[in-house]
Structure 1
Amino acid sequence: MPITQLLRPLTLCLALGGLASLPLQSQELQPQGEATEPEVAAEAATEAKGKLPLDDLRTFTKVYEHIRKGYVEEITDSTLLEYAIKGMLSELDPHSAYLNASSFDDLQVNTTGEFGGLGIEVGMENGFVKVVSPIDGTPAEKAGVEAGDLIIKLDEKPVKGMSLGEAVDMMRGPKGSDITLTIVRDGVDQPFELVITRDTIKVQSVRTRMIEDGYGYLRIAQFQVSTGADTLRAIEKLQRESGELKGLILDLRNNPGGVLQASVEVADAFLEEGLIVYTEGRIDNADLSYEAKPGDVTDGLPVVVLINDGSASASEIVAGALQDHRRAVILGTQSFGKGSVQTVIPLSEERAIKLTTALYFTPEGRSIQAQGITPDIEVERAKVTSLKSRSRTTEADLQGRLDNGNGGEAVDSKQREAAELSRDDLFKRDNQMFEALNLLKGINLFGQRHQSQPAPSMAQDISEAAEPPLVSDN
């Protein structure tokens, strides 16, 4: 049966229901002068509020019928209805979407850390696909895709006019198959092409290593279901390897977000107590707050968090919570600014909608939406070259020089150069991490020089200096 035949009885019922709901006394009282026409209209508008707009519904059925009968190719009713649902959701905001069987399955797989495709977190901007961030170790990252890139063509097909879901579907495909991305990038005069070979994407959420003796590095590439537990194990591993951990760099750069609960668990690992994040929305279960459980697993260890314009959503929750609690120093550049929460609502076993249902706020009540997290210390990513003095000769190189007065080992120019090469490697490869490491060393040095009156840890500082959060846990 044509959809218009199904909708006509509905339209009639809605029309009758709307008329029947008007207060009868308003029609009877008006001739007696007790109600003016504007007052009656206002009452009618109040009563009609919340009901489907009949004129717009009739317009929809007309358009539907025109497409159904007159479009150059025949389209089934179920396909047209699916298009209508997609259109409704795509017009709400860049993150609400209709999930068909394929995209619903992809979303469920993403939270576990394994999926097929190129390995890019994307959104829409002015009708083009914008790269939020490439995921570490994926074909996109290896091919040179960068956060902020605009994809204007997929193979030879322009992206303009596609929905985000359609573009994502085109980027997905069998392992080993190629796709050509035409990219526009700030600072590059002309669009350029990248040929990327699709692969099965297996994201390792958490990675660690020691940068220098006593200073650890913890990288979270994406927030998955197991990220909280993986982070705790990673911190324990660093503590065992170092013997005495003096400081930690938490790298959230180009982290597109992921599971909200995972971000709460990661922030909780560094906090003794207090609010981590709260959400506000229109539906009853959208207003939630998350509190830290007692116990900082790092025992107040100095922490520097790295962020950039590819740090979004869940990574901004972690950075915002640690910043508000004065628990870590945030270093890098302004984050992406995605401060909304999406709820996945299943419609069947194979279909669902992803609907933006709430905004989230940091402990001090800051909304990150469309603003992002401002780092405490701004350091742009840059290519740098250290300047060295011409003369490499030192006192230790001279013949007949005196030994160290305290019996210490002499350090000649070759030993100094070897140490400088190691530092220069990090400086040239990642200047932001280099600055973070220097900051941790400074914090540690400051603490050593004030052992007689120990400086409060970052965790203690919040209990004395921070203002209380704007909301309580109720």
Structure 2
Amino acid sequence: MFKKQTVILLMLVTLLGSSVLTLLFTGQLNFAAGESRASTAGLLSELSSGQSGSSKADLSKLETALKLVKQNYYQDVDTTKLVDGAIQGMMNALDDPFSSYMSKETAQEFNSQIQGSFSGIGAEVSLENGKVVVVSPIKGSPAEQAGIRAKDVLLSVNGESLEGLSLNEAVAKIRGPKGSSVEIKVQRSGTSEPMTFTIKRDDIALETVYAKMTDDKIGLIEVTEFSLNTDQRFKDELTKLESQGMKGLVIDVRNNPGGVLSVVENMAGLLVPKGKTIVQVENKAGQREKMLSTGSSTGKAYPVVVLTNKGSASASEILAGALKESAGAKLIGETTYGKGTVQQSYDKEFGDGSLIKITMAKWLTPNGEWIHKKGIKPDIAVDQPAYFSVAPINKDTSLSYDSNSDDVKSAQTMLLGLGYKPGRDDGYFSKETVAAVKQFQVDHKLTESGSIDKQTAEQLEAALVQKIADPVNDAQLNRAYEEIRKEIGTSASK
């Protein structure tokens, strides 16, 4: 069990995995591990034993295809590669970005890093309609700091196109040692031209829970993913805040790509009243199982707000749905990602170190809503300022007066966010924009040219990152605090 969960954690944090996950570790397929599966005939005869009708015919067809390739291909072939390819083909045929197969070699990469630190860019991706799409950058990761956003489509890595690659193949191109840089080209909805990000890989922190208290006793718990001991860490921090006299709670699951189902159930159970539904899981036969809270009979007396955005996926959505529908919490921010299925992970059945994940159920909110590909709408919609999602500036060429481009538009958005007045934000480099750039250059001790060269662009982006990191400028968080204070005031007046 530990290895399974650790593998899932590694998948989420280092971009080794194939998709955002809600994992259910209940029950196992009744396959015997047996001996090595190196022999195709042995593999197929073992799997086909006890089968009948079309199942036997299908397996016989697969065995025949493998034999024909082995006997007639003009070069020697690696049987293991053929078998891995056949299994991967099965997973691809499901047309499900959340079901996947990892060969022995890929699984070994996971296991080799379990005991130590690991590095990556820190974003979760899935394969959608043949495209590598970002589910969510992990909070504080190099990907988030560089400006990668949920729903971005990754086009190429270091000039190599990702088109036609499996997700594992694409991820392998993105991975690399700590300190090394990778150039990623991205297509973002709403922009006409692809954007290029240069990201320095780094170690990704294993800590998933961060807590603090405001001066007026409003607790904030940020949860970056649901893995391993996240539920215990959440319980510890919640208990600590309550012992300090917390009057209201904000739970931040923005850009949280998900994790293990049992973990989010445990966390929701701390806030949802005993006997109320946390989540429903429905199997292929349409049978539903309700997961009920075993917490206190009354729940919590203080108000709870959950912060969400389009990078809140899977287990994050389970928590948001449970707290909204069964605990009276309010959701503030943006509509969530929309991932309503549950995967089972199997890493013992093949007996050779490979791993398979299969979507085995869908989950529904306590009220029975399936949020897949729709997401959960917030009770109070709040967008962040435009500069929170501005595209980076291409630094290969300078921008100057009378030019017109998406890069100029990005620069104008940055200047506006930093308090300067470029006069417009439509991408035309006007005289007002020149004056704003000059003022920025003076304030940051740069050459006062009025044009945006590489150094000016880098300083603009650095100043903006610093501003975004300041909670004072977080419109969604501030609205959450405002709502909690309103609730506390209402309760106090009764």
Could you tell me the TM-score, scaled by structure 2's length? 0.68
Residues 109, 300 of structure 1: CA spacing in aligned structure 2 closer, same or farther, 3 A cutoff?
A: farther
Distance in structure 2 (CA, Å) of the matches to 1:99 and 1:292: 35
Distance in structure 2 (CA, Å) of the matches to 1:174 and 1:425: 26
List per-residue Cα deviations over 1:284-312 (Å, max 9, x = no partner). Answer: 9x964322113179732101101111111
Structure 2 gaps of 5+ residues are 1-37, 388-415, 418-467
Is 1:337 matched up with 2:338? Answer: yes
1:342-381 superposed matches below 5 A:
342-346=343-347, 347-348=350-351, 350-381=353-384
Secondary structure at the counterpart of residue 325 of structure 1: helix
List per-residue Cα deviations over 1:164-183 (Å, max 9, x = no partner). Answer: 11112222222233222111
Contact conserved, 2:40 with 2:79, CA < 8 A, in 1? no
Is 1:276 matched up with 2:281? Answer: no
Q: How many residues align?
A: 375
Is 1:136 matched up with 2:180? Answer: no
Q: 1:468 — aligned with what?
A: none
Distance in structure 2 (CA, Å) of the matches to 1:147 and 1:171: 17
Q: 2:85 — aligned with what?
A: 83
Distance in structure 2 (CA, Å) of the matches to 1:13 and 1:439: 62
List per-residue Cα deviations over 1:240-261 (Å, max 9, x = no partner). Answer: 4xx4322111001111000111
Is 1:328 matched up with 2:329? Answer: yes
Residues 53, 272 of structure 1: CA spacing in aligned structure 2 closer, same or farther, 3 A cutoff?
A: same
* Alignment counterpart, residue 439 of structure 1, candidates 483, 487, 490: 483
Distance in structure 1 (CA, Å) of the matches to 2:151 and 2:202: 22
Distance in structure 2 (CA, Å) of the matches to 1:437 and 1:223: 24
* Equivalent residue letter for 1:364: N
Contact conserved, 2:273 with 2:326, CA < 8 A, in 1? no
Contact conserved, 1:180 with 1:195, CA < 8 A, in 2? yes
> How much does 1:143 deviate?
2.0
Distance in structure 1 (CA, Å) of the matches to 2:48 and 2:117: 50
List per-residue Cα deviations over 1:212-246 (Å, max 9, x = no partner). Answer: 42112110000012111111111122234xx4322
* Equivalent residue letter for 1:139: P
Distance in structure 2 (CA, Å) of the matches to 1:194 and 1:250: 30
Q: 2:315 — aligned with what?
A: 314
Greater displacement, 135-144 / 376-385: 376-385
Q: 1:51 — aligned with what?
A: 55
Distance in structure 2 (CA, Å) of the matches to 1:8 and 1:244: 63
Secondary structure at the counterpart of residue 55 of structure 2: coil
Contact conserved, 2:121 with 2:201, CA < 8 A, in 1? yes
* Alignment counterpart, residue 190 of structure 1, candidates 168, 193, 201: 193
Residues 272, 339 of structure 1: CA spacing in aligned structure 2 closer, same or farther, 3 A cutoff?
A: same
Q: 1:167 — aligned with what?
A: 170
Distance in structure 2 (CA, Å) of the matches to 1:128 and 1:176: 27
1:280-291 superposed matches below 5 A:
280-282=282-284, 288-291=289-292
Distance in structure 2 (CA, Å) of the matches to 1:173 and 1:181: 13
Residues 186, 111 of structure 1: CA spacing in aligned structure 2 closer, same or farther, 3 A cutoff?
A: farther
Q: Which has the higher contact order (CA 8 A, sep 6+)?
A: 2
Greater displacement, 376-385 / 203-212: 376-385
Structure 1 gaps of 5+ residues are 19-47, 387-423, 451-474
List per-residue Cα deviations over 1:45-87 (Å, max 9, x = no partner). Answer: xxx4x53445x9547734763587446x643122111111111
Q: 2:211 — aligned with what?
A: 208
Contact conserved, 2:307 with 2:333, CA < 8 A, in 1? yes
Q: 1:429 — aligned with what?
A: 473
Q: 1:124 — aligned with what?
A: 127
Residues 359, 121 of structure 1: CA spacing in aligned structure 2 closer, same or farther, 3 A cutoff?
A: same
Q: CA RMSD in A?
A: 3.5
Contact conserved, 2:123 with 2:136, CA < 8 A, in 1? yes
Distance in structure 2 (CA, Å) of the matches to 1:117 and 1:427: 26
Secondary structure at the counterpart of residue 202 of structure 1: coil
> How much does 1:357 deviate?
0.8
Distance in structure 1 (CA, Å) of the matches to 2:42 and 2:230: 48
* Alignment counterpart, residue 230 of structure 1, candidates 224, 229, 233: 233
Contact conserved, 2:281 with 2:290, CA < 8 A, in 1? yes
Could you tell me the TM-score, scaled by structure 1's length? 0.70
Contact conserved, 1:228 with 1:263, CA < 8 A, in 2? yes
Secondary structure at the counterpart of residue 82 of structure 2: helix
Contact conserved, 2:155 with 2:187, CA < 8 A, in 1? yes
Secondary structure at the counterpart of residue 337 of structure 1: coil
List per-residue Cα deviations over 1:12-62 (Å, max 9, x = no partner). Answer: 999xx97xxxxxxxxxxxxxxxxxxxxxxxxxxxxx4x53445x9547734
Secondary structure at the counterpart of residue 124 of structure 1: strand
